[in-house]
Structure 1
């Protein structure tokens, strides 16, 4: 008599064949191969991040939408994008060169200030990239037990397919940069994205927590993630070293300026360090709602935003963040400072400009 374990692979194969037949008959195209559709409503659809490209603003979001504005967010145009995957983050180290990342392990690059984009990598390739890289290290160092484990991680990605999101991107210049994502997924490039090197072995993250954000404060590079994970680039050891903080919940972002760094996340938790992460002091937000985005305004004040649409502003020489009144607040996923000093925020209702104070 056949057991379930014997029948299960056969059933799975039959279901897969049926799905492929249905997909073929319906003209299914993978979102990684389907260009984003132009839409007059894109500016009011869900957007997940916004960044400066010189004087231009670039916003990214669901269904591969990328928008750009040259008038401080008053009007937006839609860019040409080769994928329809949801895009989670965007970063421009210079006015012309920029990168965007998103679901399905997609990495996009623009060399014309965000007007057109090309795909550099996607999740169908990342697993094989990890396997090749760590298999070579395993062959070179057969006694190192770390390499086979990382080869296995790469093989798992190959088997599971292209569904692993990249959550953030940061570049030091037009050549050197990082992308980070779920389950400690981190890649580094030194040639502007022409090739990518896995960096999983360069993080103090043994439990493979998600890497939610990566940002430079001007004098240090930080990564934040799940369960209180904060990592700081250690140049002497060429790795991201763990930094202890008093909060063990998830951090969603990091912002800062030379000499200090602020991390923020679940249930209104916001902490600041002025000694390179050796010690931390909490900000009093007075809220229990998650903080999801931040930027630094023209006066050097931190502006933080919540998933409920609150805007918080730090007060000089105090440990309190003041909640600023907002008309028709809505969830905020990203924020940037426009050239006229106004704040541009993006979220579930698209992009909007907050009036200058």
Structure 2
């Protein structure tokens, strides 16, 4: 099962496919080669992810739209983006350096806090990367049966085209980072995206489940995926090792703080661990709709959001979640606190900003 954001993108992208079909008759241009079109409607168009870049908010979404706001979400401007592919996630490890990922294996980088972007990688290159990397390992270790299989997987990606979505991105700093996506697609960079190393052999994911989200809790780096898949970086073994969980449905996100990790996903399921994933407590949400976004606020409390538009803030050390109803079903796919404390969320209807008093801790 793919992530919620991907479901949303597929549904909303149907119109784009029709338009592209018509445009082929007059000379089709791949979305990877077509810059995002400036639009006054971008702020109310589907958006799928958001991050803080210092005091600036940066949101990404459909048709390559990237928006930024310097006044806590009151006014938005559209950034210059070299592609029109749907974007799924954005991450800024510092105020200036940021990365965004999306459909067709696209990886974008900004060095000016989201004002301008350039393409570092796309799906037309990823298959060749896998072939080259794993073929070299196969030649060096002819007795290892894993390498030819992974090289063959890269060849299949090359033959199938560039349509493999990347679903999330995380950077530790302006050099070290990861991008993750469908069918166990994962790449790592140690030079800020100038080069990428396939990491399919470094995950305990033999069934090739989709990797929906990647995030650090402060003392652990986790990847959440479908069918209960949760991985944690093992620094000794230099791989993402499987972490057993009591839920076998898809996880759409992971977040936490030192000493604690929370994963969330389908049907209102939220799990919390305070011992690095050795044991889990199920947090009662009272919901049966998917939880699709979340962040840790300035008071170290969790803010989770659903596809129905509800917000669930945590309270106290027990991380008890309290449901806050929202007026109207507005799916949320990303959220963040602005510099002035206001809560800003994005989703299928674009940006939604709420005042500070409405989002104060319960």
| 2:7 equivalent in structure 1 | none
Taking the aligned partners of 1:312 and 1:306, their CA distance within structure 2 comes to 8
Taking the aligned partners of 1:310 and 1:22, their CA distance within structure 2 comes to 39
| 1:8 equivalent in structure 2 | none
The equivalences for 1:53-202 within 5 A come to 53-202=53-202
Q: How far off is 1:71 after superposition?
A: 0.5
| 1:265 equivalent in structure 2 | 265
Q: 1:50-94 CA deviation, whole Å, 9 max, x = no partner?
A: 000011000000000000000011110000000000000000111
Which portions of structure 1, spanning 4 or more consecutive aligned residues, are displaced by more than 6 angstroms? none
Taking the aligned partners of 2:171 and 2:225, their CA distance within structure 1 comes to 19
Q: Does structure 2 conserve the Cα–Cα contact (< 8 Å) formed by 1:32 and 1:83?
A: yes
| 2:223 equivalent in structure 1 | 223
Q: How far off is 1:337 after superposition?
A: 1.2
The equivalences for 1:205-284 within 5 A come to 205-284=205-284
Rg larger for: 1
| 2:325 equivalent in structure 1 | 325
Taking the aligned partners of 1:22 and 1:272, their CA distance within structure 2 comes to 49
| TM-score for both structures, normalised by structure 1 | 0.93
Q: Does structure 2 conserve the Cα–Cα contact (< 8 Å) formed by 1:186 and 1:199?
A: yes
Structure 1: give runs of 5+ residues left out of the alignment. Answer: 1-20
Q: How far off is 1:328 after superposition?
A: 3.1
| TM-score for both structures, normalised by structure 2 | 0.91
Q: 1:240-292 CA deviation, whole Å, 9 max, x = no partner?
A: 00000100100000011111010000000000001111111010000110000
Q: 1:83-133 CA deviation, whole Å, 9 max, x = no partner?
A: 000000000111111000000000000011100000000000100000000
Taking the aligned partners of 1:338 and 1:111, their CA distance within structure 2 comes to 20
Q: Does structure 2 conserve the Cα–Cα contact (< 8 Å) formed by 1:297 and 1:341?
A: no
**Over the residues paired in the alignment, what is the CA RMSD in angstroms?**
1.4
Q: How far off is 1:233 after superposition?
A: 0.3
Taking the aligned partners of 1:332 and 1:176, their CA distance within structure 2 comes to 29
Q: Does structure 2 conserve the Cα–Cα contact (< 8 Å) formed by 1:266 and 1:290?
A: yes
Q: 1:1-29 CA deviation, whole Å, 9 max, x = no partner?
A: xxxxxxxxxxxxxxxxxxxx986641210
Q: Does structure 2 conserve the Cα–Cα contact (< 8 Å) formed by 1:284 and 1:319?
A: no
Taking the aligned partners of 1:181 and 1:22, their CA distance within structure 2 comes to 29
Q: 1:290-315 CA deviation, whole Å, 9 max, x = no partner?
A: 00000112222101000011101112
Taking the aligned partners of 1:285 and 1:24, their CA distance within structure 2 comes to 48
SS in 2 for 1:128: helix
